[in-house]
Amino acid sequence: MATCLYCQQDNPDDLATCQHCGMALPQQQKQRAAQRLVRFKWFVIALTIFCAIMIIWLPRSMPS
């Protein structure tokens, strides 16, 4: 199902325009969703590595 970006209604995949509002439906919506998921996974991995490095690198207590 393709979701209209304008009215957020679900439409069959074989249509080029929304049945509800008539706007053009986005193409390759599933590919974009997969790409966003891959980007999000890499972001989480990078953030985890960054946090681990900061935990090791930063001092644990102030020297007296």
Q: What is the mean pLDDT of the chain?
A: 87
Contact 31, 39 (CB under 8 A): no
Closest to 5 measured CA to CA, from 14, 17, 15: 17
User: Secondary structure of 2-24 in the HEC alphabet?
Assistant: EECCCCCCEECCCCCECCCCCCE
Rounded to a whole number of angstroms, the distance between the first and last alpha carbons of the chain is 64
**Residue-wise pLDDT tens digits, 33-52:** 889 999 999 999 999 999 99
Spans of all domains in the chain: 2-57
pTM of model > 0.85: no
